[in-house]
């Protein structure tokens, strides 16, 4: 004999799984936001890197070596609402210092902005691993002739934000709303060697596609970055995590 109650319950579970997905959740945790995300529209790429507190989004056409825009700052998550606070914004500087909240929905490795409108869908590239240098960093020193010159970040700052596999640096002044430059792409850290492959560069499109190698070391929690710039100039820099500086 068949059990009507049991059959009905199985049907409800089956229908729920079809509608919502057994392992899908609509409200992500903050930890699930951390990492690198990408959205593609034709040949235009949107790259989003989120550390524990900070974020940067860059939009570019790698094939045409065209940088389009970048914006970023800090972020927080409240339920299914993601709030950005802008510290830099190349296309709309008036947004700097303001907040923008976006309803979001997470489905496996896809994150949707404005799910009712399906405004933008992001695919997760990594969750911050392997991540020896994952996080948000500010430049705090530069060696010249073996002497370290301290740099005190304030409204004028140069930030480098990294996920487990992606990076972006941004130079800007939050107070004056000036933007000085940005670049980014993918990176690896192996045997003390940090290698960047450039996908976009606002200052010089000819650098796109280049792979640059640097030596790196973590010294007292700081990142020592040495090698040659994309122009071939020697560099020896100290970077400190933003959380440690407190800005």
The string of pLDDT tens digits covering residues 119-178 is 899 999 999 998 899 999 999 999 988 899 999 999 999 999 999 999 999 999 999 999
* Cis amide prior to 130 (ω within 30 degrees): yes
Pairing label, strands 135-144, 120-126: unpaired
Model pLDDT, residue 1: 43
Model pLDDT, residue 16: 42
Cα gap 11→13, rounded to integer Å? 5
Within 8 A by CB and 6+ apart from 143, the residues are: 149, 236, 237, 238
Q: Count CB atoms within 10 A of the CB of residue 57.
A: 19
Model pLDDT, residue 6: 47
Residue ranges of domains in the chain, CATH in brackets: 30-126 (2.40.128.490), 135-245 (2.40.128.280)
Give every residue of the chain whose pLDDT is below 50, as ranges. 1-2, 4-24
CB-CB contact of 161 with 242 (8 Å): no
The candidate with the shortest Cα–Cα distance to 173, out of 151, 184, 162, 158, is 158
* Cis amide prior to 166 (ω within 30 degrees): no
Give this prediction's pTM: 0.88
């Amino acid at each position: 004999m068949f059990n009507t109650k049991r059959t009905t319950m199985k049907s409800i579970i089956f229908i729920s799984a079809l509608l919502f997905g057994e392992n899908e959740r609509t409200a992500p945790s903050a930890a699930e936001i951390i990492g690198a995300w990408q959205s593609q529209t034709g040949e235009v790429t949107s790259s989003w890197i989120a550390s524990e507190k900070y974020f940067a989004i860059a939009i570019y056409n790698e094939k045409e070596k065209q940088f389009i825009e970048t914006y970023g700052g800090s972020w927080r998550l409240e339920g299914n609402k993601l709030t950005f606070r802008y510290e830099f914004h190349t296309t709309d500087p008036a947004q700097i210092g303001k907040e923008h909240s976006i309803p979001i929905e997470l489905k496996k490795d896809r994150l949707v902005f404005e799910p009712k409108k399906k405004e933008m869908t992001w695919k997760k590239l990594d969750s911050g691993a392997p991540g020896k240098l994952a996080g948000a960093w500010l430049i705090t020193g530069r060696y010249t002739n073996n002497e370290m010159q301290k740099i005190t970040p304030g409204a004028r700052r140069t930030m480098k934000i990294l996920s487990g596999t992606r990076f972006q640096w941004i130079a800007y002044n939050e107070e004056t709303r000036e933007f000085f430059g940005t670049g980014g792409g993918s990176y690896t850290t192996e045997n003390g060697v940090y290698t960047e492959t450039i996908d976009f560069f606002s200052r010089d499109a000819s650098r796109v596609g280049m792979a640059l190698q640097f030596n790196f070391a973590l010294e007292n929690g700081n990142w020592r970055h040495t090698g040659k710039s994309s122009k071939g100039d020697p560099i020896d820099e100290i970077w400190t995590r933003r959380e440690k500086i407190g800005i």
